[in-house]
Amino acid sequence: MTAEGTSVLVDVRKYDGSPSARWNATRLGEDEHGVWSGTARGVPVASATGGWTNRFAYVMAVPRGEWWTATFCVDPGPEMYCDVCTVPEWNADGTVLRRVDLDLDVVRPRGGEARIKDEDEFAEHRVRHGCPDSVSGRARHTCEWLLAAVRRDGDGVEPFASVYRHWLGLIG
């Protein structure tokens, strides 16, 4: 088991293996919803498009065996940003997290309603990167599940309903 406070390299790729984004986070702990990491405001993010420095702190939930990760942000970021991806994988010592971004996202802005983002990018990259129908079908199914799970008037699906607030309180 990796200790809390350990640095984690988050390595996100596209389906063809090309880099999407890389940054360092801090392992906060884990619970029944998965492993939680935190990223402070001002952390540099390397990207295939040049990179940036993140403008707000956030925590990320990495569930076990699921096709998504969820990011919960402090203001001014969106309340929730869920990435549809292949099942995230950890290296042996828990210091590197790898996932393949499938370009579908579910975003819930602060005070707003959840919506699907980047459907056009998903369709374009599905063809460009040679993503098989079985993977794209799983991505669409996961996206629809996430959209329902993060709704404000939903049935309290965790970690989207309230659990994330504990973890966000550790960094915000």
pLDDT at 82: 97
The structure's pTM equals 0.93
Confidence of residue 1 (pLDDT cuts 50, 70, 90): low
Check residue 137 and give its pLDDT.
95
Q: What is the pLDDT of residues 90-147, one digit of tens each?
A: 999 999 999 999 999 999 999 999 999 988 888 888 888 889 999 999 999 999 999 9
Do residues 86 and 104 make contact, with C-beta atoms less than 8 angstroms apart? Answer: no
pLDDT digits (tens, 9 = 90+) for 6-38: 999 999 999 999 999 999 999 999 999 999 999
